[in-house]
Amino acid sequence: MAFEIELKFIHINQVLLREKLSALGGLCKGRHLERNVVFDTPLREMKSADKLLRLRAKQWKDKEEAVLTLKLPPEGDVPADVKIYDERETKVESFDGTYGILEGLGYEGAFRYDKMREEWIFENVEICLDELSFDTVVELEGSRDDIFAVAATLSLPLEQSSTATYHDLHRAYRERENLAPQDSFYFTDEECQQLLKTL
C-alpha cells in the first residue's frame, strides 16, 4: 500500500518548463504512450465508492509494459490542496489476459483514455508532461511539501493548479465547448502511430 499524492497544473508552457527542468538538472526519463481502460461493475459501483480499477498499457520506443492499478480513497482527514489516493499497483504479464480476467470477474471496460507522457525527476518529485487528446497538463507527484517546493522553484502558478482528475478536466472541457458528455478520450489509431514515431 502506498499513498499517491499529486497536483496538476493547467495551461503551462511545456516547452519552457522542459528547458527550465533541463537547466536546473532535472532528469528526463523519456516519453511513452499510455492507453488506459477503467473497469467498473455494470451498476458503476466502483465510481459510486470513489474507487478506480485501471488497466494500463505503456509503450516506449523499445519496450511495452502492462500495469494494473487500484485506487482507493484514503481514510481520515487529508489536505484539500493536493489529490491523495491509497494506490495499489502491480505489473502484469499480459494486457489482454488481465482484461479477460477482469471481465470474467464481472467487471467491464467503463471507459478508456490515452495520453502521451514525458517523465522527469527533480528534487524528489516526479513531473509528468502529459499530452491528451483535448489539452496538455503538467502533473507533480511526491510528498505534499516537495510538490509545493518544486512548484515554487519552477514558477508554476498555484492559481493554475488543480486537484481534478483527468476525467473531470475532460468533462469540463466538453462543457466549455458545448459538446455532448462523453467519458472516454483517446487518440485515434492514426494519431497513436504518429505519436509513437516521436519517441
Using one digit for the tens of pLDDT, what is the confidence trace for 118-146?
A: 999 999 999 999 999 999 999 999 999 99
Q: What is the dihedral of CA 118, 2, 165, 189, to 10 degrees?
A: 50
**Which helix or strand (DSSP H or E) is residue 8 part of?**
strand 2-10
Question: Which percentage of the chain shows pLDDT scores above 70?
Answer: 99
Q: How far apart are CA 187 and CA 92, in angstroms?
A: 23
More confident residue, 61 or 147: 147
Q: What number is the average pLDDT over the span 97-119?
A: 97
Single-letter code of the amino acid located at 63: K
Residue 84 has a pLDDT of 95
CATH number at residue 25: 2.40.320.10
- Is the pLDDT score of 1 beyond 70? no
pLDDT digits (tens, 9 = 90+) for 156-185: 999 999 999 999 999 999 999 999 999 999
Q: Is residue 186 a contact partner of residue 195, using CB atoms and an 8 Å limit?
A: no
Return the pLDDT at 6.
Answer: 97
What is the span of the domain harbouring residue 138? 2-196
pLDDT at 77: 84
- 29 has which bridge partners? none
- Cβ(117)–Cβ(129) under 8 Å? yes
Q: How many domains does the chain have?
A: 1
